[in-house]
């Protein structure tokens, strides 16, 4: 999990040159995470990031090729944390139940790493490369999960292509829900229960009750 740097200086910690170097890079990276999470990519100027990191602007370029290159690393790095976080919280119960667990874990992760939300959502426009990378990561893994569920008989009647579409619906849903429900007065909060229950109902029995017998009305 991405951690804030300990409030201890490199000197006090008696690091050697290599460690010192890594430590500085990490500080810049963490500062960027913080700034982007708080103000968004657009406001994450090199000046602001380095100030937050407590280093000179020039130092930035000793560790990253340019501003964009750093920004592009932000999402994939945290994204990996997210995937791991969610996996750790997914049990071995029935597939539908697991999906609910994943859904809930996503919102838990957001509370754990509040920066994630903004870093994820803005990435499409400000860090396209990193965004694509993240999306591929997640959707591939997600489709695999669904496929296994189908193999196990927990899902029926969906093709692989449809899985991909479903996965995008799920990801999109999470994004919108988190923006709508995870913020309360500036703080990141838990999602209300009715969001969870709505999701659960949707994925287990759908939204609509169809008429008793399919009449000729349907396509």
SS (H, E, C) 71-120: HHHHHHHHHHHHHHHHHHCCCCCCHHHHHHHHHHHHHHHHHHCCHHHHHH
Please give the Cα distance from 209 to 185 (Å, whole number).
Answer: 37
Q: Closer to its own copies at the Cβ: 8 or 209? A: 209
Question: Token pair for residue 192?
Answer: 């209300």
Please give the Cα distance from 204 to 111 (Å, whole number).
Answer: 26
**Cβ contact 84:2 at 8 Å:** no
Residues contacting its own copies: total by CB under 8 A: 60
140 binds DNA (CB under 7 A): no
Residue numbers 7-46 binding DNA by CB under 7 A: 11, 16-17, 20-21, 24, 43-46
Please give the Cα distance from 16 to 66 (Å, whole number).
Answer: 26
Q: Closer to its own copies at the Cβ: 4 or 69? A: 69
Q: State which of residues 66, 140, 189, 204 lies at the interface with DNA (CB under 7 A).
A: 66
Spatial neighbors of 82 by CB under 8 A, at least 6 apart, are 106, 109, 113, 116
73 binds DNA (CB under 7 A): no
Closest CA to 142 of 113, 121, 171: 171
Q: State which of residues 184, 206, 213, 216 lies at the interface with its own copies (CB under 8 A).
A: 206
Binding partner selected for residue 128 from DNA, its own copies, none, CB under the kind-specific 5 to 8 Å limit: none
Specify the stretch interacting with DNA by CB under 7 A; choose among 55-63, 88-96, 181-189, 197-205. Answer: 55-63
Applying CB under 8 A, the residues found at the interface with its own copies are 40, 42, 93-97, 99, 121-122, 124-126, 135, 149, 153-159, 161-163, 165-166, 168-177, 179-181, 192, 194-195, 197-199, 201-211, 217-219
């Amino acid at each position: 999990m991405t951690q804030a740097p300990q409030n201890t200086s490199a000197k006090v910690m008696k690091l050697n040159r290599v460690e010192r170097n890594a430590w500085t890079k990490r500080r810049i990276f963490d500062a960027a995470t913080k700034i982007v999470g708080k103000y968004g990519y657009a406001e994450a100027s090199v000046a602001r990031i380095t100030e937050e990191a407590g280093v000179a602007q020039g130092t930035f370029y000793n560790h990253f090729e340019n501003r964009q290159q750093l920004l592009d690393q932000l999402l994939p790095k945290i994204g990996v944390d997210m995937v791991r976080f969610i996996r750790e919280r997914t049990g071995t119960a029935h597939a539908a139940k697991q999906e609910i667990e994943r859904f809930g874990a996503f919102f838990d992760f957001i509370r754990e790493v509040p920066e994630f939300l903004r870093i994820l959502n803005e990435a499409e426009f400000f860090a396209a490369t990193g965004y694509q990378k993240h999306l591929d990561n997640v959707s591939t893994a997600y489709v695999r999960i669904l496929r296994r569920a189908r193999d196990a008989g927990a899902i029926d009647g969906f093709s692989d292509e449809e899985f991909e579409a479903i996965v995008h619906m799920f990801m999109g849903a999470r994004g919108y829900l988190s923006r709508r429900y995870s913020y309360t007065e500036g703080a990141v909060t838990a999602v209300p229960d009715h969001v969870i229950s709505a999701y659960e109902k949707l994925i287990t029995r759908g939204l609509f009750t169809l008429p008793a017998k399919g009449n000729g009305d349907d396509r």
